[in-house]
A and B are shown apart, each in its own frame.
Chain A
Amino acid sequence: MVYDQLARPVYGVIRRVVRDPAQSEEVAQEVLLEVWRSASRFDPDMGGAATWVLTIAHRRAIDRVRSAAAAAAREHRVAETPEPRDEVAEAVEASLDRERVQRCLGGLTEVQRESITLAYYGGYTYRQVAALLGVTLAAIKTRIRDGLIRMRDCLGVS
């Protein structure tokens, strides 16, 4: 079912960033509604529809955790951020895509992998990631980009 195909990654990615189930559903609802409202303005030239929807989902999730109200909860979360490798491994249901993404993540250097998972699943900015990993800003920008390029080639994204 299409709903599952998109609703599951939409909810999953929001849940990963936001953590709290009730807040995650709220954000997911906002996303579904935004997709519904602006479907006629979707521009296929800008990339695939799944990418469009999931970009909205990730950005809304980020907005939520970066808002001032969430600041306190976040401080708390830093301590319990699991190993990036577990982030992916802990996922609820094994699937081909998950295995593939995991395999490709496994092919990165540790810093590349950590910076990507902290930024994407953790919702941290590259500056925060640099601070968390204790590397320079210039290094983190490069690690993230190089890591994603390797991921892209590994996944076979055109």
Chain B
Amino acid sequence: MPEKVNAPVSVSMSYDSKTRKVFPKSVIWDNRLYAVTKVGLHHKYREGRSLYHVFSVTTPTLFFRLVLDTETLHWRLEEIADAV
């Protein structure tokens, strides 16, 4: 069952200049490190003056919905779920 979270989260990001793709590599949540194995979807939206990037990612055990606020460059975890 997915669970709404809405908490700050640590995220390592990677940028590949050849494919020009940006993707989260790992997430530290609840003092545990999770390696991202797949980005399901990356989408964007605006709220007020802020542009948000949403990464829906999976790790071997959990699904995370991560949101990057491009105004502050802070990450927020919005939702978790079992990855399978």
* A and B are partners in one complex rather than unrelated chains: no
Binding site for B on A (CB under 8 A): none
Binding site for A on B (CB under 8 A): none
